[in-house]
Structure 1
Amino acid sequence: MKYITTFSLIKNIVLISISISISIIIISTTSFANTDDVNLITMIPSEPKINVKAYILMDYNSGKVLAENNADVRHAPASLTKIMTSYVIGQAVKLGKISVDDKVIISNDAWATNNPIFKGSSLMFLKPGDTVPVFKLIRGIDLQSGNDACVAMADYIAGNQDFFVNLMNNYVTTLRLQNTYFKTVHGLDADQQYSSARDMALISQALIHDVPNEYAIYKEKEFTFNNIRQLNRNGLLWDQDLKVDGIKTGHTLAAGYNLVASATEGQMRLISVVLGSKSFKEREIESKKLLTWGFRFFETIVPLKANKEFISKPTWFGNDNTVQLSAAKDVYLTIPRGKGPDVKVSYTLNTPEIYAPLVTNQVVGTINFQLDGKIIAQHPLVVMKEVKQGSIFKCFIDYIKLVFHHLFG
């Protein structure tokens, strides 16, 4: 107790001496800016005219929105709903609640003939009493857009469709989606069921990141079940100009033709969402316009890795004299193509000096990324490795050093 009290006294004295000393300028004197207001587009033509009700183009890694229109307007999601259905299934597999090799006995609920709302809709053509492995039902959802497969998996995971829909909406809350609410597991039109272009991009981003094994299925081009061969409804998988590896189509009378697509080029991945197109072909054409424009005029760079030291700073009152600082996670920036060499990196500290004890990932400042004189991104500056409190003798020596440092600079 005496040691702690002495240390606290020393620390308070140091803080007082700092307050009366000459102000210290940290490396970066750039004031913080509202990054949402920064226009990255430098000598880049506007996005092409997209003939749909709503759209968005987002970089998967950085989350940067490159183009959007009516992105937060609520629309009937149609079979894009199945992206969330797929996400819930992927999480159940990931958490060990089910296995892809589990056998599911098909109930009457998943029998299309027994359910008039399935008439004329996309189906896997399941029959009551069939025993079907989970990995086949997943493909029936992801590739064939089978409404019957959605019901079968909902019953298997949650006991019934209502409980499964609750799981879907719980993930809506977890992902902080503002304009999404599900009423069905398959996406057929239902009152008060809606989503938006932005939310669909965020659900897709989560699917790719959180359950990559589930997402990998979306690039498969066909699936055969009960001798019925069906092609993946995402026609962009066959496009020769883009490396599209997902993700999902949707159509109902209320929704029109929807498409979420994702493609890669090098280390860059883009996600496009178009809602309310007039035909299945138009949704592909408009999606390709967005993706092509994004890849042509932008690039994704990784200026800083989480496991790589960004800078080291003196540490006071600790068992180590310095602390290594870095980003909390890999930093991805989406910038105009060819502008990578112009990106400048600086930092600011939360306090003029850094005091022990420090724990791993403790935030001590901000890393600023600038382009053309504007801050385009800011990320937390964190401690890479714990620094424990030093001995009473070490604290006393550091106190003397700090007093002289701030008085004589």
Structure 2
Amino acid sequence: MFKQVYRKTKLALISSMLILPTNLMAEEIQHSISTPQLNAQTYILMDYHSGTVLAALNPDQRQYPASLTKMMTSYVIGDALKQGKINNSDIVTVGESAWGKNFPGSSKMFLNLNQQVSVADLHRGIVIVSGNDACVAMAEYIAGSEKNFIDTMNRYVADFNLKNTHFETVHGLDSEGQYSSARDMAIIGSHIIRDLPDEYKIYAEKEFTFNKIKQPNRNGLLWDKTIHVDGMKTGHTDKAGYNLVASAVNKDNMRLISVVMGVPTYKGREIESKKLLQWGFANFDTFKALEAGKIVLEQKVYYGDSSKVELGVLQDAFITLPKGRQADVKARYELENKYLEAPLTKGQTVGKVIYQLDGKTIADINLQAMNDVKEGSFFGKAWDWLVLTVKNFFN
């Protein structure tokens, strides 16, 4: 046997520059920054690029999501469009169950029985005016039935690793077994922004006219000129209270996602969301620390057809810190094994970079192989085995 298992080792790489960021630990980066007081049963504030949770109250508490459910409905539609399974120009015939009269006293786009409507209009009716009727029409068109569509929604719940979400409706009207959390809704929002940028643009549209009926987007923060909110979704039922997922960017292209759930008043959900977003922008900065494909370091490889491997990340990496603290961050890298051994595949995790601020670990990220390293020849591996045997003897 040429390969041996070696104990894990830590290799220090101390730097005042940010090299490879990842999700930060909220309690560590906040330090003495006091969080705002909100009138909500649960809330969360998350940085979109780094995934850092900046503030939260009961973020995993299960709540009735109300029309926030339509974010997942919209995601399923957007992904079907992206995959070419449907097209925006497709025409949908409104069936009995999607008829607007079936939803008295709730939000709808006022669909008529047997009316023919484009996918593009139905999608806008879901996102902008929160049409319950449009949700049913699209569910039946894409999946054949609401049940099949809901099954797809819950498959995405599993794909996104959402721990406190389960859907039983396509529109969000209260159902005993339907629930979500502030954290899970922030994650769904981040997937829409990242995976479906064309669909996300719809969330910024302020009004929608259909059947000669003009309706405004219920997200009032879209009109607020003191903060650049460009999405996302409102929700309300008697059991849920008032909910709002909001996303905003500042002049430095820092994007935050806020979620408030169980707010007692219609206007209150906007007030509490704005309070969260402004607090986040005032106290934190997010930095793009490393571009995808940029080499962090080269490392020796044994038993391979190449003697070295380049290490870095395959996706852009970001870090969120209290304002003015970028130069104070120190970093070191840690390999999973003392010696790297072939075969290695591109993207394989071989270690991590650990970040500290004021002596406390605040973040770590997986360190990846940037290229494949295949197994070497018999004689090459034999030589490496001899070299490692000597090294291991002296160590």
TM-score by length of structure 2 reads 0.91
Contact 1:263 1:270 in 2 (8 A): yes
Alignment of 1:2-401 (within 5 A): 8=1, 10-11=2-3, 26-27=11-12, 36=25, 39-44=28-33, 46-113=34-101, 115=102, 118-265=103-250, 266-399=252-385, 401=387
Aligned-pair CA distance for 1:404 = 5.7
Q: Which residue of 1 aligns with 2:19?
A: none
Aligned-pair CA distance for 1:328 = 4.3
Percent sequence identity over aligned pairs: 51
Q: Residue type of the partner of 2:149?
A: F
For 2:105 and 2:85, how far apart are their aligned partners in 1?
33
Classify 1:254/1:357 alpha carbon distance in 2 versus 1 (closer, same or farther; 3 Å): closer
Classify 1:403/1:275 alpha carbon distance in 2 versus 1 (closer, same or farther; 3 Å): closer
For 1:358 and 1:141, how far apart are their aligned partners in 2?
46
Q: Residue type of the partner of 2:366?
A: P
Aligned-pair CA distance for 1:65 = 1.1
Aligned-pair CA distance for 1:391 = 2.8
For 1:38 and 1:69, how far apart are their aligned partners in 2?
12
Q: Residue type of the partner of 2:372?
A: E
TM-score by length of structure 1 reads 0.88
Contact 2:26 2:55 in 1 (8 A): no
**Structure ID, larger Rg:** 1
Q: Residue type of the partner of 2:44?
A: I
Aligned-pair CA distance for 1:73 = 1.9
5+ residue gaps, structure 2, are: 15-22
Matched residue of 1:39: which SS? helix
Contact 2:248 2:257 in 1 (8 A): yes
Q: Residue type of the partner of 1:283?
A: R
Contact 1:38 1:374 in 2 (8 A): no
Aligned length: 386
Contact 1:262 1:270 in 2 (8 A): yes
Q: Residue type of the partner of 2:31?
A: T
Q: Residue type of the partner of 2:331?
A: V
Classify 1:87/1:216 alpha carbon distance in 2 versus 1 (closer, same or farther; 3 Å): same
Classify 1:278/1:407 alpha carbon distance in 2 versus 1 (closer, same or farther; 3 Å): closer
Q: Residue type of the partner of 1:76?
A: Y
For 1:246 and 1:367, how far apart are their aligned partners in 2?
34
Q: Cα deviation per residue 1:247-300 (whole Å; 9 max; x = unaligned)?
A: 001111111111110111223211111112222211101100000000110111
Classify 1:321/1:67 alpha carbon distance in 2 versus 1 (closer, same or farther; 3 Å): same
Q: Residue type of the partner of 1:86?
A: S
Q: Cα deviation per residue 1:152-184 (whole Å; 9 max; x = unaligned)?
A: 111111112222222222222222222222221
Moved more, 297-306 or 148-157: 297-306
Aligned-pair CA distance for 1:237 = 0.6
Matched residue of 1:378: which SS? strand
Contact 2:207 2:215 in 1 (8 A): yes
For 2:379 and 2:240, how far apart are their aligned partners in 1?
71
